[in-house]
């Protein structure tokens, strides 16, 4: 029988605070995969196991019995000073569907699933197309524009506002709130200041939706908030914190993933002119292309789970409560799963894609994100067929979880 090994930090792992890693994490992922399927890192709270390969990442995400999604306690309450100050933040944060296990997760997902059915989402496609056109009407492609500010940042917030039937004018608040939450979630070991800002924004979201819930009780409609209220009346969702947490997390998750898919995807396409030109010639490849862009540079680079009971994995002793960091970005570039995994190929059919997760916690809004991306890229290809990057080096935001661009300057090259 092989020996069970104690945690030892991997010398191959470049810290997430390393600027070179944040600009391009994929060489480090490749070295980790080659060295082994599991590594220990001291960088995450009191330490965490890093899973590098597709098979293991997928298995952990699918196994909700041995690996729990309930992981916010130590994350928020990491210091004695935080425990009193951040208690209300933790109570709300922990109720979101992202961070609960069955049976509560099953119940909440059942409530929300109806709003993300294909037939429901397709009703919004014409309105999304009109909004994309309007946002692009406002830019001067010949002079150049920042794609992130012009379209990728505002559009997802506006789409969620559309689905929740809330004023589009409030999108600026949504974006600011989302940014604070993303900074907190994206920090391997958040500072107290980052936690305070995230708390303030989550409570602001909650207060906003509390007022909106009161309005919907008086005049219900067919939007997401009204659907949640009907589920509350049926006893399928609890009033107060549980209902408000789902509203806030739907807004946040729908914004971050889509924004970064749009930015990362356009950057990858324009950096590889052959792929851009091929997509222009063969627009029928667009659904495959969007999924390949998700694989190639995933908007979500990793996610976490807690070990539910002691077990041994690849010769390593995992203890109950240990943090598992499933490196989605690494799994999506695993050559054991994808041929020429470091090559962008818009005709690839990337089965087993993990950018939306896998198993019971797979992203509930995946279909909406895909639909938005297909609409945006289709519109760009038709309106700006000679679109080019302005800067050779992309400007990354530096968020370790939500990989994305702070700016993407582009312009339409002369004919």
Instruction: State residue 390's pLDDT score.
Output: 95
Q: State pLDDT tens for residues 201-244.
A: 999 999 999 999 999 999 998 888 998 999 999 999 999 899 99
Instruction: State residue 20's pLDDT score.
Output: 83
pLDDT tier, 7 (very low <50, low <70, confident <90, very high otherwise): low
Q: State pLDDT tens for residues 273-326.
A: 999 999 999 999 999 999 999 999 999 999 999 999 999 999 999 999 999 999
- Which residue in the block uniquely carries the two structure tokens 């659907």? 227
pLDDT tier, 137 (very low <50, low <70, confident <90, very high otherwise): very high
Q: State pLDDT tens for residues 112-129.
A: 888 888 888 899 999 999
Contacts of 25 (CB under 8 A, 6+ apart): 301, 329, 330, 403
Instruction: State residue 53's pLDDT score.
Output: 97
Instruction: State residue 9's pLDDT score.
Output: 60
Domain ranges of the chain: 19-412
Q: Angle of helix 171-185 relative to helix 192-218, nearest 10 degrees? A: 140
Instruction: State residue 1's pLDDT score.
Output: 40
Q: What mean pLDDT is predicted for residues 32-43?
A: 91
Percent of the chain with pLDDT over 90: 66
Instruction: Count the alpha carbons within 13 Å of 205 in the hemisphere toward its beta carbon.
Output: 31
pLDDT tier, 45 (very low <50, low <70, confident <90, very high otherwise): confident
pLDDT tier, 3 (very low <50, low <70, confident <90, very high otherwise): low
Query: Does pLDDT of 34 surpass 80?
Result: yes
CATH architecture of 19-412: Orthogonal Bundle (1.10)
Instruction: State residue 363's pLDDT score.
Output: 92
Instruction: State residue 168's pLDDT score.
Output: 74
Of the listed ranges 4-13, 121-130, 232-241, 404-413, the least confidently predicted one is: 4-13
- Kindly state the tokens that stand for 7: 């945690």
Instruction: State residue 316's pLDDT score.
Output: 93
pLDDT tier, 17 (very low <50, low <70, confident <90, very high otherwise): low
Burial of 376 (0-12, 13-18, 19+ CB in 10 A): buried
Q: State pLDDT tens for residues 244-255.
A: 999 988 888 878
Query: Does pLDDT of 375 surpass 70?
Result: yes
What pTM did the predictor assign?
A: 0.92
């Amino acid at each position: 029988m092989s020996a069970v090994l104690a945690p030892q930090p991997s010398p191959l792992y470049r810290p997430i605070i390393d600027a070179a890693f944040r600009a391009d994490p994929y060489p480090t992922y490749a070295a980790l995969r080659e060295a082994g399927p599991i590594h220990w890192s001291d960088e995450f709270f009191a330490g965490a196991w890093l899973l590098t390969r597709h098979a293991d990442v997928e298995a952990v995400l699918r196994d909700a019995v041995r690996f729990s999604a309930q992981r916010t306690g130590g994350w928020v309450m990491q210091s004695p000073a935080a425990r009193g100050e951040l208690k209300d933040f933790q109570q709300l944060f922990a109720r979101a569907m992202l961070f609960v296990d069955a049976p509560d997760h099953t119940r909440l997902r059942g409530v929300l699933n109806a709003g993300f059915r294909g037939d429901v989402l397709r009703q919004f496609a014409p309105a999304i197309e009109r909004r994309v056109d309007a946002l692009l009407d406002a830019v001067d492609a010949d002079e150049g524009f920042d794609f992130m500010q012009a379209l990728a940042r505002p559009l997802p917030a506006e789409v969620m506002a559309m689905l929740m039937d809330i004023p589009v004018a409030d999108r600026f608040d949504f974006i600011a709130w989302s940014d604070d939450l993303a900074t907190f979630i994206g920090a391997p070991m958040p500072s107290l200041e980052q936690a305070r800002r995230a708390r303030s924004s989550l409570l602001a979201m909650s207060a906003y939706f509390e007022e909106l819930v009161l309005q919907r009780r008086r005049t219900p409609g067919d939007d997401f908030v009204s659907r949640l209220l009907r589920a509350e009346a049926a006893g399928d969702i609890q009033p107060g914190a549980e209902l408000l947490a789902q509203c806030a997390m739907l807004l946040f998750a729908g914004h971050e993933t889509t924004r970064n898919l749009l930015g990362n995807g356009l950057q990858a396409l324009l950096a590889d002119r052959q792929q851009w030109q091929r997509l222009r010639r063969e627009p029928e490849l667009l659904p495959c292309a969007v999924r390949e862009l998700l694989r190639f540079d995933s908007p979500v680079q990793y996610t976490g789970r807690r070990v539910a009971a002691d077990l041994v994995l690849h010769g390593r002793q995992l203890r109950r409560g240990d943090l598992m960091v499933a490196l989605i970005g690494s799994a999506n570039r695993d050559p054991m799963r994808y041929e020429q995994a470091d090559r962008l190929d818009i005709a690839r059919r990337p089965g087993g894609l993990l950018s939306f997760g896998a198993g019971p916690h797979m992203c509930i809004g995946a279909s909406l994100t895909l639909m938005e991306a297909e609409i945006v890229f289709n519109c760009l290809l038709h309106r700006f067929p000679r679109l080019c990057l302005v800067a050779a080096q992309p400007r990354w935001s530096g968020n370790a979880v939500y990989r994305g661009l702070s700016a993407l300057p582009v312009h339409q090259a002369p004919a």
